[in-house]
Amino acid sequence: MKRIVLTGGGTAGHVTPCIALLPSLAKEGYDIQYIGSYQGIERKLIEEYGIPYHGISSGKLRRYLDPKNLTDPFRVLKGYIEARKLLKRLKPDVLFSKGGFVTVPVVLAAKKYHIPVIIHESDMTPGLANKIAIPAAKKVCANFPETMKYLPPEKAVLTGTPIRKELFSGNKIKGLDFCGFTANKPVILIIGGSSGSRAINQVVRDMLPTLIRDYQIIHLCGKGNIDEKLEGKSGYVQFEYIKKELSDLFAAADLVISRAGANAICELLALRKPNILIPLPQGSSRGDQILNAESFERQGYSYVLKEEDLSVSSLYQSIKTVMEKRQEFIQAMNKSELNNSIETIIQLIKETQK
């Protein structure tokens, strides 16, 4: 039986594209194994699909001063030793890496055993982990046309990002019923998330009395960010995180407000959802979300609001603008060639395996 090892971790964005590939890989007859960090978010997400999961030590490689720079290299070295032992035992035919620092020791171990490696780079410019890993790769999948110039020409393949098929099966009525909403008022889906989205959560809650006059609000606010004072408020529902019903919530939404992580915005594009992107500012990231958002804005897919300009009045005006121009955004997205890339990547995996 053919065997593939998937790796990626640190954020959900480094895992969901791997999850999107699972049904097609199984259909092709692959035995699928996953290598991630001991207790990263990837472990819970992957184990829910019944895929054998192998944890290794993981450390972050930083380009700035931090006390952890003294200890993390040893964690990475330990991860490399563990990855070598795992790959020697698993003997995969091919490795697919989605990025994140846990993937660096896995990719380098695969190179040691001459296991073909395919890397997927979601962002406009490769992050540090993928920059280290690219020399060991046979092929590098790119999400954006602009990314191709940053990659070795003989390795670069423009694929777009794999989108989970279940996202396309959402039911609007089920989504409205799940939230206790009616069909006669537009719905805004706000995807907050981790601590980096507290700025969005706060502004949304500050403007709630005004918002719910005209809209119904679904607020995915992230773990530990539920505001108990707002529980049961008419026209507003809040959840830390939604998995099973997410496709129904997307189907119910007339407008989505989101950060600008590459996988998230590609899902919005695939679903043809008018959206407002609030990218993480430069100080909170390496600036990749800003570049992602600018690309989507240039192509007419998204309205971009910088976090430094975020306020009750600016967000309300942005919502008003996008709602008035909904059809223009949808028409632009309909012209996109960045559609689901699962078939392209599966074919690449088949061609690249040893």
**186 shares a domain with 72:** no
Give me the DSSP letters along 185-233: S-EEEEE--SGGGHHHHHHHHHTHHHHHHH-EEEEE--TT---GGGTT-
**173 shares a domain with 262:** yes
In this prediction, residue 282 carries a pLDDT of 76
Q: Is 183 exposed, middle or buried (0-12, 13-18, 19+ CB in 10 A)?
A: exposed
The reported pTM is 0.83
d(C-alpha 339, C-alpha 342), whole Å: 9
User: Domain of 209: which CATH number?
Assistant: 3.40.50.2000
**40 shares a domain with 25:** yes
**243 shares a domain with 133:** no
- Look at the chain and report how many structural domains it folds into: 2
Report how far apart the first and last C-alpha atoms of the chain are (Å, whole number): 13
**151 shares a domain with 207:** no
In this prediction, residue 145 carries a pLDDT of 86
The lowest-confidence range among 79-88, 141-150, 336-345 is: 336-345
**10 shares a domain with 156:** yes
**210 shares a domain with 111:** no
Give me the DSSP letters along 50-111: T--EEEE------SS--GGGGTHHHHHHHHHHHHHHHHHHH--SEEEE--STTHHHHHHHHH
**One-letter amino acid for residue 225 of the chain:** N
Looking at the chain, the whole-number percentage of residues with pLDDT higher than 70 is 93
Q: Are 326 and 255 in contact (CB under 8 A)?
A: yes
| Residue 28 DSSP one-character state | T
**55 shares a domain with 116:** yes
The lowest-confidence range among 5-9, 65-69, 85-89, 217-221 is: 65-69
Mean pLDDT of the chain: 91
**229 shares a domain with 156:** no
**345 shares a domain with 208:** no
**288 shares a domain with 264:** yes
**Angle ∠(71,115,137) on CA atoms, nearest 5:** 70
**311 shares a domain with 248:** yes
pLDDT at 60 over 80: no
Q: Domain range holding 253?
A: 168-334
